[in-house]
């Protein structure tokens, strides 16, 4: 019985570690939302897809310093992408994020970005 409980705890930890949502930085109450956006790409069979998300977006500008980036996986079932902030981010006025889907899955995420 005890072993079963421990296995469950372990699985929960693993599932949590696998979460496809990512957070960079923190924001406080005085920060404003620079961007709030949903991004969706359909699945392609047997394929890992790589997408990039940039702040500011093409043809937009941003002069606020980013304090936090919240990338929320809308699948919420461990099928979301792995995410990597490879340029800018908190402390900068720009950010570039790479999202890599799992094989055969698309992605459906929301970005909420705060700045001051």
User: Quick one: 14 exposed, middle or buried, by C-beta within 10 A (0-12, 13-18, 19+)?
Assistant: exposed
What sign has the CA pseudo-torsion 17, 100, 62, 94?
Answer: positive
Nearer to ligand NAG among residue 49 and residue 108 (C-beta): 108
Site string for ligand NAG, 30-59 (x = CB under 6 A): x---------x-------------------
Residue 77 within binding range of ligand NAG, rule CB under 6 A:
yes
Q: Which H or E run contains 34?
A: strand 32-41
Residue 79 within binding range of ligand NAG, rule CB under 6 A:
yes
Give the integer Cα–Cα distance in Å for 13 and 6. 11
Q: Which stretch binds ligand NAG (CB under 6 A): 5-13, 51-59, 70-78, 83-91?
A: 70-78
Give the integer Cα–Cα distance in Å for 20 and 5. 25
Residue 61 within binding range of ligand NAG, rule CB under 6 A:
no
Q: Which residues bind ligand NAG (CB under 6 A)?
A: 28-30, 40, 74-75, 77, 79, 108, 116
């Amino acid at each position: 019985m005890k072993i079963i409980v421990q296995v469950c705890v372990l699985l929960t930890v693993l599932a949590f570690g696998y979460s496809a949502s990512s957070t960079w930085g923190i924001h406080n109450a005085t920060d404003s939302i620079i961007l709030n956006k949903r991004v969706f790409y359909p699945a392609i069979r047997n394929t890992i897809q790589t997408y990039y998300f940039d702040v500011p977006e093409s043809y937009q500008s941003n002069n606020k310093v980013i304090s936090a980036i919240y990338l929320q996986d809308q699948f919420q079932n461990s099928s979301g992408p792995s995410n990597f902030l490879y340029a800018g981010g908190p402390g900068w006025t720009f950010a570039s994020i790479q999202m890599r889907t799992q094989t055969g899955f698309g992605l459906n995420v929301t970005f909420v970005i705060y700045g001051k």
